[in-house]
Chains A and B, each alone.
Chain A
Amino acid sequence: MKSWKNRSLIEARELSEPEIRAVLARAGELKKLWQGWRGSEFPHQSLRGKTVVNLFFEPSTRTRSSFELAADRLGAHVLNLSPEGSSISKGETLFDTAKNLEAMDPDLLVVRHASAGAPYQLSKIVRVPIINAGDGFHEHPSQALLDAFTIEEAKGGIKGLRILIVGDIAHSRVARSCIYTFRTLGAKVAVCGPPSLIPPSVESLGVTLDYHLHRAIRDADVVMMLRIQLERQARNTPGGTRANTQFPSLGEYSRFWGLNVETVKELKQGAIIMHPGPLNEGVEISQEVATGPYSVILNQVSNGVIVRMALMDLILGNGGRSA
């Protein structure tokens, strides 16, 4: 097992089971500590004196706040940067920004970017550890770790579970990271969605495939719904306009691949429903289901902070000092 100390987290694909287990175990400890704590300063100040930079080139509220809170609870200084402008996206300015930041001696960069590979390419030019907080359609490894933590918490384990991921698999970094992580932990992963949103080579990732939700859902212990990202569907037409060419309408998507009170009836007893957020209520998931008894969606959000604390603690932590 590779040590987490000062290491970058770019891909869930590269993580071994013991490496994931180390994060989940630390998250468990920190969660206990967090729940039992009633004071002004969280006792585990392992990042005191460290600087964490949130470098978000793509708009994000929940992931950025999650990382920010996580770093803050552990005592780090947090700098939030959301550079904007078109020139930045191409990379030249990205690399320049990162080199400038590096010169200010931060201890960790948390990077989100709309282009696949941006955190990887940055990790080759700066010496600071980097956590990939989502790059294009590539990966979002901390999301997969928090999802694994949430599943284990709700189901008492993950090995052998049947996990169904539903939606736009082709354009989802969450789906990729989750598939790698869940499989590494011994779960059986299936994907479901319109064939136009499923990459042809998906089965090579070791997952099974079913285009029909009502059928796929019956076996599942965990159902993870992905956000349908309208902005990812549109494409430039030869006529110069933008059109949705991947499925006919949100209404039709919802009809066949949306989770609602009716589809949920097919679920096994004790199955759970997840969603990385933000939700398109009434599209991939109905309001009743999102807030219903199967749902662990808000647990994912609170565990997100805990798991990110665990990650930063492992990468940067000095063992922790009591306040």
Chain B
Amino acid sequence: MKPTENPRTNTFVLANVRLVDPVLGVDGEREIWVEKARVRQIAPKGALTEKKSREASSLPEILDGRGLLCTPGLVDLHVHLREPGHEYKETIATGTLAAAAGGVTSVVCMANTDPVNDNPYVTEFILAQARTHGKARVYPVGALSKGLKGESLAEIGKMREAGIVAVSDDGVSVMNSYLMRKALDYCKTFDLPVISHADDLNLVGHGVMNEGVHSNALGLRGIPAEAEEIIVARDVALARLTRGRVHFAHLSCWQSLVHVRRAKEEGLKVTAEVTPHHLCFTEEDVQSYDANYKMSPPLRTRRDIDALKAAIADGTIDCIATDHAPHAPRDKNVLFEYAANGVVGLETNWPVGLELVAEGIVTLSKLVEIMSVNPARIAGIPAGTLKEGSAADFTLSDPEAEYVLRGEDLHSKSRNSPYIGKRLKGRVMATFVGGECRWQAE
């Protein structure tokens, strides 16, 4: 797979790929004609290449996809790019490079930077950095409250004008129900989803892992699943009261799913995401006080993993989002209770998703829905399909490639990944944004 020889034109025909595009209802061999960064035509196998060999003329160069899998570029609704303010953990340049290496073409980035993205100037700064250094498209989330303090609303409208696609105090739960209600009301003007990081902070207390047998044995303070459930239930109630849009970040327990399922049956505007790590690991992995298993919400139990997978299958959960949270060794290589929450995820997301296909939880087409189509719809961004006229954002991968992940394989500035040393199946081979090859495997 060679990048386009003349990337300025972003014009080529991609041949010999299996295209999976649920919006088009396609799963099969296709040829994709990209012209000036957009998809000009999706053609049956051989249609364009044979035409070119016959007429040897007007068609652009052919890129041979060698039987790779082609999907619309992945959309990640939950990423911490850390810039401005925490550039020692990640920058927009390194974070979007990690995204491209993971097949992600659109990154929705959280507001807990320093300064907080609670005003249009920070939003503009992020977008300017992304234009200059970004390997993937960047869509900022604006803070819900000024300074993430949970006291008064941030300048949501002005940030909307500057380019935010959602609001959230992610990282801190909005404990003030009145403020949450007002945010949901206010955001209706701009059709923005409010992303809820659901945690009852009083119940969380100083907890650092799931409460139960294991927290007890390790002598670590526990966080009951009910701390999440209570705020999920509250925000479902507020979605009913306001008719606003609530999107639940990183749900981790079966209890929360009960409320989301009921809210959807009721027709409320509620959507939900799950992280790859909450689908792979449990509280038992904390055994060795390894901070790469410390996250908020904490890793739960086997029962929760099963419930989360069932919720993906039945549509209660709309999408997988990584909650990519880069941290430097100085934040992680400390005593467990002081270690920062979160793990990087952009570069391991696709193999985890493919594992769901292998387990029979979802079809490949459904996987593309939950990793591209649905998150694009929730954030209201133009992505998730390669229908004619859309931006040529796509990912080429080899779903059969197996390898053991090494720290040095990661492109993120931080390597706080629980997948290091683990066997993964499925490798992203190349990522195109606007018809331009932004990353390709060696």
Q: Interface residues, chain A, CB within 8 Å of chain B?
A: 13, 89-92, 94-95, 113, 115-118, 120-121, 135-139, 173, 176, 199-202, 204-205, 235, 238
Contacts and interface: CB of A to CB of B under 8 A. Distances in A.
A244 B202 CA distance: 13
Contacts of A135: 219
Contacts of B211: 199-201
Contact of B289 (A120, A176, A235): A120
Given A201-B212, A235-B205, A238-B175, A91 B218 contact: no
Interface string B218-249: 11111000000000000000000000000000
Contacts of A138: 218-220
B219 A117 contact: yes
Contacts of B206: 235
| Interface residue SS majority, chain A | mixed
Contact of B338 (A91, A199, A238): A91
Contact of B336 (A116, A205, A238): A116
Interface in B335-382: 335-338
Contacts of B217: 13, 176, 205
B334 A92 contact: yes
Given A137-B219, A201-B213, A116 B337 contact: yes
Nearest to A199: B216
Contacts of A115: 335-338
B219 A173 contact: yes
Given A173-B219, A235-B205, A117 B213 contact: no
7 contacts: A89-B338, A91-B335, A92-B333, A95-B333, A137-B219, A137-B221, A204-B213
Contacts of A238: 175, 201-202
Contacts of A92: 330, 333-334
A136 B216 contact: no
A87 to B, nearest CB: 10
A116 B291 CA distance: 13
A213 B289 CA distance: 35
Contacts of B336: 115-117, 121
Nearest to A170: B216
Nearest to B286: A117
Contacts of A13: 217
Given A92-B330, A200-B211, A235-B205, A117 B335 contact: yes
7 closest cross-chain pairs (CB), A and B: A138-B219, A91-B334, A116-B219, A91-B335, A117-B289, A137-B219, A115-B335
Contacts of B219: 116-117, 135-139, 173, 176
A146 B336 CA distance: 29
Given A116-B220, A135-B219, A90 B213 contact: no
A90 B205 contact: no
Contacts of B289: 116-117, 120-121
Place the interface of chain B in its size category: 20 to 34
A8 to B, nearest CB: 14
Contacts of B205: 235
Nearest to A122: B335
A34 B288 CA distance: 39
A117 B218 contact: yes
Contacts of A235: 205-206
B218 A118 contact: no
Nearest to B329: A92
A120 B288 CA distance: 8
A313 B382 CA distance: 71
A205 B216 contact: yes
Contacts of B288: 120
Given A235-B205, A238-B175, A118 B335 contact: yes
Given A117-B289, A121-B289, A200-B211, A90 B338 contact: yes
A161 B216 CA distance: 24
Interface string B311-347: 0000000000000000000100111111000000000
Nearest to B208: A116
B223 to A, nearest CB: 13
Nearest to B219: A138
A174 to B, nearest CB: 11
A135 B219 CA distance: 8
Contacts of B333: 91-92, 95
Nearest to A124: B288
A68 to B, nearest CB: 25
Contacts of B215: 199
B283 to A, nearest CB: 11
Which of A115, A200, A205 has the most chain B CB atoms closer than 10 A to its own CB?
A: A115
A177 to B, nearest CB: 10
A138 B205 CA distance: 18
Nearest to A115: B335
A201 B334 contact: no
Contacts of A113: 335
A138 B335 CA distance: 13
Contacts of B222: 199
Contacts of B338: 89-91, 115
A229 B200 CA distance: 26
Contacts of A90: 334-335, 338
Given A90-B335, A92-B330, A235-B205, A117 B220 contact: yes
A13 B206 CA distance: 25
Nearest to B336: A117
Which of B212, B213, B222, B330 has the most chain A CB atoms closer than 10 A to its own CB?
A: B213
Contacts of B335: 89-91, 94, 113, 115, 117-118, 121
A242 to B, nearest CB: 12
A200 B212 CA distance: 7
Contact of A201 (B175, B202, B216): B216
Which of B175, B201, B288, B337 has the most chain A CB atoms closer than 10 A to its own CB?
A: B337
Nearest to B214: A201
Nearest to B212: A201
Interface in B108-160: none
A247 to B, nearest CB: 16
Nearest to B206: A235
Nearest to A121: B289
Contacts of A117: 218-220, 289, 335-337
Contacts of A205: 216-217
Contacts of A202: 216
Contacts of A116: 218-220, 289, 336-337
Nearest to B289: A117
Which of B201, B215, B335 has the most chain A CB atoms closer than 10 A to its own CB?
A: B335
A139 B213 CA distance: 15
Given A115-B335, A116-B337, A235-B205, 7 more contacts: A117-B289, A117-B337, A199-B211, A199-B215, A200-B211, A202-B216, A205-B217
